[in-house]
Amino acid sequence: MVNPIPKWVWRRYALLWKKFENKNFTFEQAKKELKFVDGNTLSVMFNELKTAGWIAVNLDQQDSRKRIYNLLTPLKIVESIKHDIKKS
């Protein structure tokens, strides 16, 4: 199930999507891309995206302390929301 996200998270999702699309990326790569966003904000943002179902989070196979992020495609999000609306 996919839920709406706050506008400030959506803006950052859009920027990350532009850069990574549906490729895997790490916390550090996202931080570099979002330039002015600090670690605290990034953690809260990933948590929002994960809770709302907009991102998949997996452990790195080489180093299980690290997480690998993968964004859901905008199309999938729209379809999923459409599906949820139909169900409800």
Partner 1 sequence: MILKKVKTEHTDKKTGMVLKRIETSEWETHNHKIAVNNSLFDCEKKRIDNKKPILNSHFQINHIFFNKKKGIWNFDKVAESKAHASRLGRFYFPFQQRNVNQWESLNFQEAEADFQDLITRGLLFVPYHVPINADLETWKKRKEDALTLLNPSQTLVAVFCSRHQRNLFEEVFNYEFEKSKVIGVQCYGLNDDDTLLNLMKIKVRNQILQTGDNAPLLIGLNYEKVLRTFSFVSGNFAYSCFGFDVLSCRQMNMENLPPEVIRKMLSKEIEEIMKYDRVLGGFNHSAEQEFWDGTNITRAFLENVNVTEGLSPYQAIQWANHREQQKDFDVLNDSILETAYDENALLKYIESQKEKWSVFWKTKMPQLARSV
Residues 6 or more apart in contact with residue 63 via CB below 8 angstroms: none
Q: Looking at beta carbons only, is 12 or 72 nearer to partner 1?
A: 12
Running DSSP on this structure, what letter comes out for residue 2?
-
Residue carrying the six token digits 């179902």: 53
3 counts as binding partner 1 under rule CB under 8 A: no
6 counts as binding partner 1 under rule CB under 8 A: yes
8 counts as binding partner 1 under rule CB under 8 A: yes
Q: What angle do CA 24, 9, 80 make, to 5 degrees?
A: 70
Position 49, amino acid: L
For the window 36-55, what string marks contact with partner 1 as x by the rule CB under 8 A? x-x-xx-xx--x--------
Residues of this chain that interact with partner 1 (CB under 8 A) are 6-8, 11, 35-36, 38, 40-41, 43-44, 47
